[in-house]
Amino acid sequence: MQFAPPVSKNRIISTFPKCYNPQACLQMKEDWSAKAKLVFKDRATRQQGLDRLKMSKAVVVGDLNVGKTCLINRFCKDAFDRDYKATIGVDFEIERFELSGLPFSLQIWDTAGQEKFKCIAAAYYRGAQVIVTVFDMTDIKTLENTKQWLMEALNENEPNSCFIFLVGTKRDLLSPEECQRTERDAVKMAAEMNAEFWSVSSKTGENVQQFFFRVAALAFEDSVLKDMELGYSTAQIGDGDVLKVDKTQAAAEVKAVRKSCC
C-alpha cells in the first residue's frame, strides 16, 4: 500500500483565510460553513472515505508578461525569476494542503499569454473550479483585457461552476498612491466580473501565500459541500472527470496536446 508523504507544515490551513479587500470579496464569512464543519468533525464519515484525496483545478490566465508564471513559482517553489521566459502552451503544479485536518490538492495550471499559444492553453480551461485572471498593476491595458480572458475560460466551463479571482501583480513597482488608484480600478472590474480581487508581488512575496490559501479554502469547502449533496467522495477535478493524482500522466497529456496543436 502506498502512503502519501505528509503535507508540509506551511500548507496546513486551520482557520478560514480572509479575503484581501471586502469591497471585492467572493464570500465575506470568517469561518467554514456550519455544514462543512460537520464533515470535518464527523470521524465516521472520514472512515467511510470522505477524507480521500480531493483535488480541484485552478487555471491561471491573462496577457503575456503579466506575471502568471512568477505568481505560481513564488507560491510553489518560493522562487522569483527576474528574466522573462514565455510559457509555451501550458504548465502545471500540484500543491498539497491540509485543511481542517483533511487532505486536499490543488492543480494550478499556468497558461501562455502569447496569442500564438492560445490554442494549446484553451484546451486546458475545461473542468476548472477556479479561474485566476491576472493583470500587471503597472500596465492598465492588461486589466481591461482580463474580461476577455475570463470569457474565454468561462466558455469552456459550466455556468456558475467556477470561483473567479482577479489578481494584480507587481505591486512592488508602484508607489502607495499609484497602488491605491490601480486597486480602485481593479475593484470596479472585479465587480463586473463577479471576481474576488487580490493585489500581490511575486518579487517580494507579499500576499501570495494568503491568496493561494484563500483559493484552496474556497475550492475545498465547495468540493466538500458538493460531495455532501451527492453523497459520495472521489478525487475530482472541478465538476469534471474523476482523476488519479498522477503527475506523469498529466505531463504526458500536456505533451500530446502540444503536439497536436502545433
Ligand X SMILES: Nc1nc2c(ncn2[C@@H]2O[C@H](COP(=O)(O)OP(=O)(O)OP(=O)(O)O)[C@@H](O)[C@H]2O)c(=O)[nH]1
Given the rule CB under 6 A, which residues bind ligand X?
64-70, 81-84, 86-87, 112-114, 169-170, 172-173, 201-203
Q: Closest distance between ligand X and the C-beta of residue 75, in Å? A: 12
Pairing outcome for strands 196-199 and 163-169: parallel
Q: Closest distance between ligand X and the C-beta of residue 72, in Å? A: 8
Q: Which is nearer to ligand X, 54 or 214 (CB)?
A: 214
Q: Which is nearer to ligand X, 7 or 64 (CB)?
A: 64
Residue 257 three-state SS: helix
> CA-based angle 165:27:138, to the nearest 5?
30
Residue 73 three-state SS: helix
Q: Is the dihedral of CA 207, 187, 196, 138 positive or negative?
A: negative
The DSSP secondary-structure symbol of 233 reads -
Residue whose C-alpha cell is 470569457: 151
Tell me how far apart the alpha carbons of residues 58 and 78 are, in angstroms, rounded to a whole number.
Answer: 19
Identify the CA nearest to 156 among candidates 122, 199, 118. 122
Q: Which is nearer to ligand X, 183 or 227 (CB)?
A: 183
Residue 53 three-state SS: coil
Pairing outcome for strands 54-62 and 130-136: parallel
Q: Which is nearer to ligand X, 54 or 68 (CB)?
A: 68
Identify the CA nearest to 18 among candidates 32, 36, 4. 32
Tell me how far apart the alpha carbons of residues 240 and 151 are, in angstroms, rounded to a whole number.
Answer: 19
Q: Closest distance between ligand X and the C-beta of residue 123, in Å? A: 16
Q: Closest distance between ligand X and the C-beta of residue 77, in Å? A: 12
Q: Which is nearer to ligand X, 106 or 132 (CB)?
A: 132
Tell me how far apart the alpha carbons of residues 181 and 159 are, in angstroms, rounded to a whole number.
Answer: 32
Q: Which is nearer to ligand X, 36 or 195 (CB)?
A: 195
Residue 49 three-state SS: helix
Q: Which is nearer to ligand X, 32 or 125 (CB)?
A: 125
Q: Closest distance between ligand X and the C-beta of residue 66, in Å? A: 4
Q: Closest distance between ligand X and the C-beta of residue 105, in Å? A: 22
Q: Closest distance between ligand X and the C-beta of residue 135, in Å? A: 10
